[in-house]
Structure 1
Amino acid sequence: MKGRFMSSMRKVGVIEDHSSVVLGLQAMLIDHPVVEVVASAGTVTDLLDQGFDLDLVLLDLRLSDGSSPTTNVDQLRAAGLEALVFTGAESPYLVRQAAKAGVLGVVRKSEPADVVVAAIAAAAEGHQVVTTEWAAAIDGDPGLADVELSPRQRDVLALYASGERADRVARMTGLSPNTVNDYLARIRVKYAQAGRPAGSKVELYQRAVEDGLLPMPEHPRR
């Protein structure tokens, strides 16, 4: 009887930089009858190297190794694993990347525990998990071509477009001013090639907002 029960368990791995998040997920699922967290790591490679037979992987969008959602999901799928994004990030750009790579859905860390558990249980059975936020991020701007920026380029763009001068961005990021200017030039070229003008600082700000690198501006209160 025990063997049959254990064989029905759905085993989940977590790719996440923060141990507190993993502990929270384990606590959420500790009494779940068929889903359990059995492994965690900070990168896809480290999780796969553990050799667990997993039914689902929970994947954060922003990892300290700078890897992209596309690369991570592709690596997981090549290993025969499906992914559910579990993240606090609110970047439509990264969400679109994950969606195009073929994840089962996106769940925010801010969701109530029962919502998170239900999403994990559904995804562990192979079901799609569609949330309003995910649908809005995917469908809200289908005409925007994705622009592949490195994590460092995204940092530079976010700081510069938010109003910082290039020399201050250099100090804040530990880069040289020449490197910052080179990054900005490359960023402008990439957006231009995608048909999204970014010649001026105002346009760079607009592109950064569109791709979730900066928050949407609040409407003034009346």
Structure 2
Amino acid sequence: MSAKEYSTVLRVGMVDDHRSPVWGIERILEDVPDLQLSTSATTVGALLDQTRNLDVVLLDLRLGDGTTPMENVSRLAEHQIGTVVYTSGEHPDLLRSAARAGTLGVVLKSASEQEIVDAIRAAGHGEEVLTTEWAAAIDGDPNLAAVNLSPQLQRVLTLYASGGTSASVGAELGVAPDTVNEYLKRIRQKYADAGRPTRTKLDLFKRAVEDGWLPMPQRSVSDDGYQP
């Protein structure tokens, strides 16, 4: 889907305690009609004091107020605001902290303008920003507790997390939709017990990628540069 096909303008916030990255994002977004940099601040608290009417926030990993990425991502999530970590990428431990807190992804400050725009747009629409940096942060996490799923539960997870419904998954496996829902309850409980909650379908997709049940998707570039 191209930018011009979106009927709404995404409200973007930015948290960075250095002005130059903010100026850079202002310049990048000034000619992008469906993305608007609504506000910026040096801390998440200051940003939320200004407005909570945001779709996505670009979040720097290291802030001068001493807050952690996990604290900041979690605090924004409480207000239904998604985050994309915007970083130079030299702190893998902080990236892992943000990944565990549920950030939608990571984009490097050295990325191309189009990559940055695509990442903001995808996250603003609730999509994962699946980059090499995000995958590396997950793969290198020594605290990522493994979840053992039976072959049947693996199949349910992969089908459902790939976009299926309880009805379509049931038809594929030859079971009733209510049985699929019961399987999903078991899957969610197993991840909750491992400290890796799956409150949404997007969470299930993320867990499936983390554990290798689903491959890291390849995002193809369309004519206008947007990667659906």
The answer to whether structure 1 residue 38 and structure 2 residue 38 are counterparts is yes
Partner of 1:137: 137
8 Å Cα contact 1:92-1:138 kept in structure 2: no
- Which secondary structure state, in structure 1, belongs to the residue aligned with residue 85 of structure 2? strand
Query: Offset at 1:137?
Result: 2.1
Q: 1:143 to 1:84 in 2, by over 3 A?
A: closer
Aligned residues: percent identity? 50
8 Å Cα contact 1:56-1:82 kept in structure 2: yes
The answer to whether structure 1 residue 70 and structure 2 residue 51 are counterparts is no
Q: 1:139 to 1:41 in 2, by over 3 A?
A: same
Letter in 1 for 2:25: L
Show CA shifts across 1:9-35 (max 9, x none). 100000001111111101101111201
- Which secondary structure state, in structure 2, belongs to the residue aligned with residue 111 of structure 1? coil
Structure 1 segments, 4+ long, off by >4 Å, are: none
Show CA shifts across 1:138-166 (max 9, x none). 11353689xxxxxxxxxxxxxxxxxxxxx
Query: Offset at 1:134?
Result: 1.6
Partner of 1:56: 56
Letter in 2 for 1:59: L
Partner of 1:154: none
Partner of 1:82: 82
8 Å Cα contact 2:74-2:101 kept in structure 1: yes
- Which secondary structure state, in structure 1, belongs to the residue aligned with residue 12 of structure 2? strand
Mapping of 1:202-221 within 5 angstroms? none
Distance 1:141 1:15 in 2: 25
- Which secondary structure state, in structure 2, belongs to the residue aligned with residue 65 of structure 1? coil
- Structure 2: runs of 5 or more not aligned: 146-228
Mapping of 1:1-222 within 5 angstroms? 8-142=8-142
Distance 2:65 2:27 in 1: 26
Q: 1:40 to 1:6 in 2, by over 3 A?
A: farther
- Which secondary structure state, in structure 2, belongs to the residue aligned with residue 84 of structure 1? strand
Distance 1:75 1:143 in 2: 22
Letter in 2 for 1:130: L
8 Å Cα contact 1:12-1:36 kept in structure 2: yes
Distance 2:87 2:25 in 1: 12
Query: Offset at 1:36?
Result: 1.1
Partner of 1:176: none
Distance 2:119 2:36 in 1: 13
Q: 1:99 to 1:144 in 2, by over 3 A?
A: closer
Query: Offset at 1:6?
Result: 11
Distance 1:22 1:120 in 2: 14
Query: Offset at 1:89?
Result: 3.7
Letter in 1 for 2:136: A
Query: Offset at 1:90?
Result: 1.5
- Which secondary structure state, in structure 1, belongs to the residue aligned with residue 135 of structure 2? helix
> Quick check: which has more Rg, 1 or 2?
1
- Which secondary structure state, in structure 2, belongs to the residue aligned with residue 72 of structure 1? helix
